[in-house]
Amino acid sequence: MAVIEAEHLSKRFGKKVLAVDDVSFAIQPGTITGFLGPNGAGKTTTLRMLVDLVHPTAGSVRVLGSRYRDLARPTTRVGALLDASGFHPGRSGRNALRVVAASAGLAYDRVEAALEMVELGGAAKRAVKGYSTGMKQRLALAAALLGDPEVLLLDEPANGLDPEGIRWLRTFLRACAAEGRTVLVSSHVLAEVEQTVDDVLIISRGKLLAHGPISELTRTAQPVVRVRSPQAEKLEALLTAKGAAVNRLGSALAIRGPGSAEVGELAHAGGVVLHELLTEQPGLEDLFLQIAGTRRES
């Protein structure tokens, strides 16, 4: 049975903004799913609809088989990091978590455990207004973990974390999956989650573009041909004329469409000198650009 399900989910704000457009997906237990898309794609709105903070205009969502509001003691089943700034600035980190724990009917022991888990035990007495962005992010993660939930919904958890914090987050997410928890983690920085997630949901402009295991999606994706040339601009023009999708940064080109042989032949015919020519299996970022690009064209 899917742990998180969305069926034909849509959300419209006012008359003009269609934030989420007919999105359907199902997330299996014990997986880490990356919810990927650029800023404003509809990730946060979708996550908030999962926990009843935002009401869908159409469609339905179920977490652990029922609506979030119908779950008994929901924070012990679903932990959500949705807003790292959602703490009263005058409260200490410990008291901020105690408020959440008290509302959820949890013992204060859980607060200390969660603080230690996110390595904020030493700063627990300090007022939240004195916390860095990364510390607030850890505090929000601690709040999500308070009820020791089986499902975690994390909205951009790496925001504000330093490289060490991001590495810690990766290890933490892996540990969560190893414990059998289901994690849905959103991010707009694709490289950040590439090493961590099993499955991906790719969303752009409110539409779900792809859903599946990351290995499968990247395997079926078109390879990228990378070229370095002192005449990159000329080669770009030649490739574009042939209908290839080209991204150029200085003397480097990333080409989708033709294979490396075609690119080499075209360069030779056009008298373009190449310093490098190789084929790469696309990463998550390339995959996203491909999918989003294809959708835009269609």
Partner 1 sequence: MIALFRAEFLKLSSTRTAFGLFIAAIVVSVLPAVLVMSLVPRDALSDGGATIAASGLTIVPILAVVFGILGMTNEYRHGTITYTYLTTPRRGIVMIVKLLCYGIVGTAVMAATALLVVLAIALIAALRDIALPWFTASSVSDLKTLRDAGMFLLASGMMTAFGVSLGALFRAQVPTVAGVVVWALAAEGIITVIKPRVGIYLPFAAFQQLTMGGSLRVGEGGGLPSLTRPEAFLVAIAYITVFSVAAVFTSMRRDVT
Task: Give the footprint of partner 1 on this chain (CB under 8 A).
Answer: 13, 44-45, 48, 51-55, 68-69, 74-75, 80, 82-83, 85-92, 95, 98-100, 102-105, 143
Q: How far is the CB of 142 from partner 1 (least distance, A)?
A: 12
Angle between helix axes 93-104 and 109-117 (nearest 10 degrees) is 130
Q: How far is the CB of 3 from partner 1 (least distance, A)?
A: 17
Residue among 108 and 233 whose Cβ is closer to partner 1: 108
Q: How far is the CB of 155 from partner 1 (least distance, A)?
A: 11
Q: What is the DSSP letter of 138?
A: H
Residue among 45 and 196 whose Cβ is closer to partner 1: 45
Residue whose C-alpha is closest to residue 286's, from 213, 190, 215: 190
Residue among 74 and 258 whose Cβ is closer to partner 1: 74
Q: How far is the CB of 117 from partner 1 (least distance, A)?
A: 18
Q: How far is the CB of 89 from partner 1 (least distance, A)?
A: 7
How far apart are alpha carbons 160 and 122 in whole angstroms? Answer: 19
Residue among 82 and 238 whose Cβ is closer to partner 1: 82
Give the side-chain half-sphere CA count within 13 A for 5. Answer: 11
Q: How far is the CB of 57 from partner 1 (least distance, A)?
A: 10
Among all chains, which residue has been given the structure tokens 């023009």? 237
Residue among 103 and 195 whose Cβ is closer to partner 1: 103
Residue among 85 and 220 whose Cβ is closer to partner 1: 85
Q: How many residues are recorded in the chain? A: 298
CB atoms within 10 A of CB 38: 13
DSSP reduced 3-state for 13 = strand
Q: What is the DSSP letter of 53?
A: S
Q: Identity (one letter) of the amino acid at 188?
A: H
